[in-house]
Chains A and B, each alone.
Chain A
């Protein structure tokens, strides 16, 4: 995922034997136990399952920028993943896209944005992560 962050694509492991997309990352297929996983670009669309806004954090970066929104996203291609939430009015069930963007140290991080939002309007959270 770090590799693909520069151009924003979402790249995840897919089992060559059964097609299951894996997340969190692991070296064997959680469905069929196969170990032939290949990195593939996956569609970014998903649904917001639930969300929160942190008012406390153990990490200075987030402590300085509270409240910090997070969301669980069910990707249409299968996995459930945790992402920063670039949405000032989140609601469970909302259609979202998951972007894979580099943070300030170049590591790819996942940001969920409302499906209809333009990439240029990602708002406070995305801007803070990329600063």
Chain B
């Protein structure tokens, strides 16, 4: 892109909220979204009527959208957005809501992702995820994204020499982070032996390579820095943001993602480099995609992901690169579209709260990355943002 991008100066992210996850729930997605919204109001100390912007991301809310939620919450917003970008939803919500605040279209935007998980809900969700997958993927094995990403993983391993142990290092480091994040659903220690010996899901993916679907909600508020200060709220600034969808569509099997196309501009706009990132939150639907983000976001060269994870500590209090500091979806659980907000909310929490059990010491700058929506044979959406602690 050649034209200059407007900065995000003056915009604040506040009030990170993670609604507790449960493995299964009889409640609808609207319950999780509404309760997350309720919690946002409490955290920020504001009244419902002060919220004039609403962005919602949800897979199980269908056929309802942010439109139905406006009535359900009895809000009358002047700006609404529905975000069907899955794992890229959190970063995209930041970008959309920030521009609404800058343009004066809304003063306080609630960004919320929430999903339920009924007993047969996941099967129904996967079988009807997109027309392309309903017609041309699901009938082949009924395994949903596990089949697709098993083959992406195999291709990556064959192309770059990654081993199962390399992916295991990512999963194990995230599990250690989750052990310091009480809301995570998976908090038992995970050793390399356990990781390698776990049951096969779809070769070469084993149990701990796959997220556990659950129900839950994640949210945050977007407003001006002035408003955040007047409310007495600690805030996070947006240094830069970018997104790209359906990138590298000519790659027969995906081995890179859209982040590689905008990462140089992302860092330049933020006046930062990978070495300045204190916290990295990647979208971890599968460890191979984490590895691609490490490469495509500039932490190592393409194909050097395996070497990078062998040589870099990824724990929240290690001296390397604190990564997926609350355990990521692989240990916290994937509450549908809320999984796409998990990294954003965790980054805002790390940069606005103190005394967290999984606190990253002296963190000033975070990079959040998203990847979402398997339409056919890969996720289509990517996004990333660099965030900084606000004064």
Contact = CB atoms under 8 A, between A and B. Distances in A.
B229 interface: no
A54 B202 contact: yes
Secondary structure type dominating chain A contacts: strand
B236 interface: no
A55 to B, nearest CB: 4
B147 A54 contact: yes
B188 interface: no
Contacts, number: 96
A76 B152 CA distance: 20
Contacts of B201: 54-56
Contact of B141 (A57, A72, A107): A57
Interface in A44-59: 49-59
A72 B151 contact: yes
A49 B376 contact: no
B147 A50 contact: no
Interface band, chain B: 20 to 34
A67 B135 CA distance: 22
Interface stretch (A13-21, A33-41, A79-87): A79-87
Interface band, chain A: 20 to 34
A55 B199 contact: yes
B158 A24 contact: no
Contact of B147 (A23, A52, A110): A52
Given A25-B135, A50-B154, A74 B252 contact: yes
B136 A50 contact: no
Given A52-B147, A53-B202, A62 B152 contact: no
Contact of B136 (A52, A71, A82): A82
A29 interface: no
Interface in A61-117: 61-63, 67-68, 70-72, 74, 80-84, 92, 107, 109-110
